[in-house]
Amino acid sequence: MHRYLVSLFIILFFVLTSANANINDKVKQLIGETDYAVHESLIFYLFQNQEEFYDYSQNINYKKLIETLEKNNLLDLTLTGNTTLNYKFIFNHNPKKSLNLLKDILRSQGHFNYMTNTIQREENNLFWDFNIDTNAAINPLLLSENLAKHFCKLTDIKKEGNTWTITIDTFTSDVYKPFDFISNEEMIFKKPLKEYFLKISNAEILKVYSYSGNSWRPSIGFYDEELNVLKLYKKDSFTKFLRVNIPKNTKYIKIDDLYSLANLKKGIKVLKE
């Protein structure tokens, strides 16, 4: 019994030591070795309860880790003037949908000025490498929170110099803020800031009414779960009412104008059958 307890203690010691090293290494990666050395005592105090920074799958809870760093002013995202940063994003599922989602999230966080270096797809995996000119790095906490709203999870983040590598679990990803047309039979939309993007299920017919004052020339896309195009409908003439068949397996519908969203300034009403 005594030997069993000693062995158990040794195993636990190495597990906790390993976990501690993993958390500390990750903190060092994120804030840099210099800042880590300066604030080592504070970091040890903040992360002394290592188990709190792992999820139920024993993976690092990046949201909580980054939140702790930010609250204690240990993660400085500001840069000295405009700087070119390199980002490498890795998605593990739904490549098209995940890429569109991330671009929308970046725009919502104020990041527009990026230049794509490479986009590579390997089966369900997608690798997006881009440079961005900015005076502040992409906020990883805000990114994590926005991803969670769309059923994605940040699973790894590394920083080496001006390069950030971020891995995201996108197995259950959704598009950015779609209108819920699943639980509604009829919806009324005001003047759009961007194209109307609807999430739909179990419908065969789409009806669209364009309100008086519009000059709508329809451009409608029907997409499956992974944002593959099932059908595109376009009509280069003013339209007040449209009735169109919805392809089988449609999960998303994008309603737009061929030329300008200004042609939909009075909004639309949509119905389904």
Helix (H, G, I), strand (E, B) or coil at 164: strand
- Compute, in degrees rounded to 10, the torsion defined by CA atoms 227, 114, 110, 145: 50
d(CA 16, CA 118): 39
Mean local confidence (pLDDT), 132-154: 93
Percent of the chain with pLDDT over 70: 92
- Other Cβ atoms less than 10 A from the Cβ of 178: the count is 18
Q: What is the pLDDT of residue 124?
A: 84
Q: Is pLDDT of 48 > 70?
A: yes
Q: Specify whether the CB–CB gap between 75 and 63 falls below 8 A.
A: no
Arithmetic mean of pLDDT, 2-6: 40
CATH fold group of domain 79-169: Alpha-Beta Plaits (3.30.70)
Residues of the chain with CATH 3.30.70: 79-169
271 versus 80: which is more confidently predicted? Answer: 271
- Integer Cα distance of 9 and 4 in angstroms: 9
Per-residue pLDDT at 186: 94
Closest by CA to 262, choosing from 198, 196, 214, is 214
| Cα(252)–Cα(21) distance, integer angstroms | 44
Which pair of tokens denotes residue 106? 């970046």
Measured between alpha carbons, how far is 207 from 97 in angstroms, rounded to an integer? 25
Topology classification of domain 179-272: Jelly Rolls (2.60.120)
DSSP E strands: which ranges in the chain?
78-91, 114-122, 125-136, 153-160, 163-169, 179-180, 186-189, 196-199, 205-210, 218-223, 229-234, 241-245, 252-257, 268-272
- Residue 267's pLDDT band (cuts 50, 70, 90): very high
Bridge partner residues of 186 (DSSP)? 271
Confidence band of 204 (pLDDT split at 50, 70, 90): very high
Residues 232 and 244: beta-carbon distance below 8 Å: no
pLDDT digits (tens, 9 = 90+) for 13-30: 333 333 344 888 899 989
Question: What integer pLDDT is reported at residue 118 of this predicted model?
Answer: 96
What is the three-state SS of 181-230? CCCCCEEEECCCCCCEEEECCCCCEEEEEECCCCCCCEEEEEECCCCCEE
Residues of the chain with CATH 2.60.120.260: 179-272
Least confident segment among 43-52, 212-221, 251-260: 43-52
